[in-house]
Structure 1
Amino acid sequence: MNVIPAALSSLLILISGIVSFHLSAATWHMPTPYDDQTLSTTIAREFAREVKAGSGGALHIRVRAGASLLKHPKIPQAVMSGQVQIAEMFIGILGDSHPIFKHDNIPFLATNYHQARKLWLAAKPEIKKQLREKGLVLLYTTPWPAQGLYTQKPIHALSDIKGTKMRVYSASTSRLAALMNTQPTLVQVPELYQAFSKDKVNAMFTSSSTGVHTRAWNYLDYFTKVKAWIPKNFVVANENAFKRLNLTTQIAIINAAAVAEKKGWEKIQQQELRDTRLLAENGMKVEEPSETLINELKVIGATMAEEWQQESPSTLTPVLTLYRHQKK
């Protein structure tokens, strides 16, 4: 009978543990449509590092930025089907599936970060419910800077922009473009330069950050700070993939997600100020909106809020009521 020496036995146990660890370690792919210069992608990479550390290396999340793995419209279905285990997307991209996902795309419903946070807290329970029905787990959100108007000429009233081709990226922005008497044209962020250069679009609502990251000064001249709304991205995981993880790894994800969301809401205001300054430094004319333009847009915002509420009164009326009570 062969007897394995104690030292060798200990070594074999150690090797076995190492092999088992590596076999059990997992890699998740996390597509995001935004490039490495955006705050949301920076936070996503920090989130991935926190998960790896918190899980003791059991889970590695590979962030695939700039639509390098999937274009934005393909991301929701990819994570729902389990093609990828985790993903970041614009909340409004799911607006056609349920109106609650449009909550942060209604002009002048929430125009500062305090209001935007209150609106998110009011909408969050229904958001989580709708995501669960799609087989998704909500992890965290990151807000964008307030949306401004980019144009090739100064805009002092809606009549100045009538008939132009407006870049849109969600159901809500399509409706806004129509109410402004412009032509809605779907264009994703990586395609902006080409779209404007080829006259596919002439104007857009987006953040100062998107303007900086796409070098908007190369294809547009004016940025009007209308602060129409404050949209958000969220990071979600496929529920089945999440449930297959051990408890330690699940907790690591939840903890890292809480840290990521806190960072996003804390850093976004600094980001907005910095990026607005960079637009001006690179030659864009950064302007305050005229009273006429703001009043006209507020009328459109009120119309869109009413239309939105009527899409699902039983779901959305409590959200609006709670939000309006909390923001006082």
Structure 2
Amino acid sequence: MLTLSRAVFIGGVAISGLTSTASFAEKWFMPTPYGDGNLPTQIAYDFAKEISDNTNGELNITVHSGGSLVKHTEIPRSVRTGQVQLGEIFLGILGNENPIYKHDNIPFLATSFEEAKKLWEAAKPDINKQLDKDGMMLLYTVAWPAQSLYSKEPVNSLADLQGQKMRAYSPSTSRLADLMGTTPTTIQVPDIPQAMSTGIIQAMITSPSTGVDSQAWDYVNNYTDIKAWIPKNIIVVNKRAFRRLDKATQEVILTAAQNAEAAGWTRVAARAEKDKATLLENGMTVSDPSPQLIAELKAIGKTMAEEWKAEAPKEVGDILARYQN
């Protein structure tokens, strides 16, 4: 194990740096943007516990949930620079860095968990390559339930949303809001309740899990189950931090990551149904989209797919070719 001698401060918390040599138990820090009620965070806690248990406490990972240590948009840089050793990132927020990160934010490209898994396998080689260039390594992914529409009033067509402020949380969701005739407003998960209750946003497309976590029934009445896409979180580690560990500890981390990824894909479907039921139990109207709304949204999805391909024809073309074969 490593003894860490240098520290930096993030949010008033001393975070060990990556320099030094072997000796006693090591402490790592893992920021995640999501609260403790969310499946990805629960999996992160299980991941950290498995590592601590299987290294006899020699590597302890502290999970900082809800953006409490590092804000979501700052997590990639914090891992890249070694301010924290690992972190959880919604993949789509990296879309401005490289178009390959947008693959799971394209509406109606993959709308079932089977399709989403296949799309991920198609994109993973390019994702790994880019992360490696940036000094990071992929550990595991956690899928979200399919993204659907929350609104105060029923939505039967895009005309019902015209001029409203729509929550955005990635480059792709900002573009989607534009094409829907709404105004994109960037709001991260912890800020949803305040943004909704104060009118900063009036509608959002997100998972049933995020709706439950933010108690959407307090500020909107309708959930339209459009199932537009299935995004993912990625959990990444700083390459230097990982390589400084002994091989046995590296294997413990990689095994825990495999288990976390398996849990992320198997538990998400059940969680999606449970969270939709919770929305209903709290008085929300849960409905399927009208034929007109779904046709309008699929047309937008086609436009976004074409724009995505135009951003990086070779890289995106390779991902699509692997996905569609």
Shorter-chain TM band: over 0.9
Q: List per-residue Cα deviations over 1:137-164 (Å, max 9, x = no partner).
A: 1000000000000001000001111111
1:41 alignment counterpart: 41
Asked if residue 233 in structure 1 is aligned to residue 233 in structure 2, the reply is yes
Matched to 1:250, the amino acid is Q
Distance 2:320 2:24 in 1: 45
State the shift of 1:54 in Å: 2.3
1:175 alignment counterpart: 175
Asked if residue 81 in structure 1 is aligned to residue 81 in structure 2, the reply is yes
Distance 2:63 2:200 in 1: 31
Matched to 1:55, the amino acid is T
Find the structure with the greater CA-based Rg: 1
Moved more, 22-31 or 126-135: 22-31
1:133 alignment counterpart: 133
TM-score after normalising by structure 1:
0.92
Equivalent positions of 1:93-172 (< 5 A) are: 93-172=93-172
Asked if residue 90 in structure 1 is aligned to residue 90 in structure 2, the reply is yes
Matched to 1:62, the amino acid is T
Matched to 2:205, the amino acid is F
1:201 alignment counterpart: 201
State the shift of 1:56 in Å: 3.0
1:32 alignment counterpart: 32
2:318 alignment counterpart: 318
Distance 1:306 1:172 in 2: 13
Q: Secondary structure at the match of 2:156?
A: coil
Distance 2:133 2:321 in 1: 24
Structural RMSD (CA) = 0.9
Equivalent positions of 1:4-83 (< 5 A) are: 23-83=23-83
* Deviation >4 Å, runs of 4+: none
State the shift of 1:23 in Å: 4.2
Matched to 2:45, the amino acid is R
Q: List per-residue Cα deviations over 1:279-313 (Å, max 9, x = no partner).
A: 01001111110011001100000110111011111
Q: Secondary structure at the match of 2:27?
A: strand
1:224 alignment counterpart: 224
Distance 2:149 2:119 in 1: 22
Q: List per-residue Cα deviations over 1:190-245 (Å, max 9, x = no partner).
A: 10111011111100000000000110000111000000000000100000111111
Q: Secondary structure at the match of 1:24?
A: coil
Distance 2:87 2:220 in 1: 31
Q: Secondary structure at the match of 1:185?
A: strand
Matched to 1:203, the amino acid is A
Distance 1:38 1:61 in 2: 18
Q: List per-residue Cα deviations over 1:246-280 (Å, max 9, x = no partner).
A: 11111100000000000110000000000000001
State the shift of 1:25 in Å: 1.2
Asked if residue 297 in structure 1 is aligned to residue 278 in structure 2, the reply is no
State the shift of 1:24 in Å: 2.1
Distance 1:246 1:190 in 2: 37
Q: Structure 1: any 5+ residue segments left out of the alignment?
A: 1-21
Q: List per-residue Cα deviations over 1:91-118 (Å, max 9, x = no partner).
A: 0111110011110000000000000000
Q: Percent identity?
A: 52
State the shift of 1:70 in Å: 1.0
Distance 1:267 1:147 in 2: 16
Q: Secondary structure at the match of 1:163?
A: coil
Q: Structure 2: any 5+ residue segments left out of the alignment?
A: 1-21
Matched to 1:72, the amino acid is H
1:18 alignment counterpart: none
Matched to 2:146, the amino acid is A
State the shift of 1:82 in Å: 0.4
State the shift of 1:318 in Å: 1.1
State the shift of 1:324 in Å: 1.3
Matched to 1:157, the amino acid is S
Matched to 1:293, the amino acid is L
Distance 1:239 1:105 in 2: 26
Distance 1:148 1:172 in 2: 15
Q: Secondary structure at the match of 2:57?
A: coil
TM-score after normalising by structure 2:
0.92
Distance 1:52 1:118 in 2: 32
Distance 1:181 1:248 in 2: 54
State the shift of 1:321 in Å: 1.2
Distance 1:50 1:295 in 2: 45
Matched to 1:304, the amino acid is M
Distance 2:55 2:95 in 1: 34
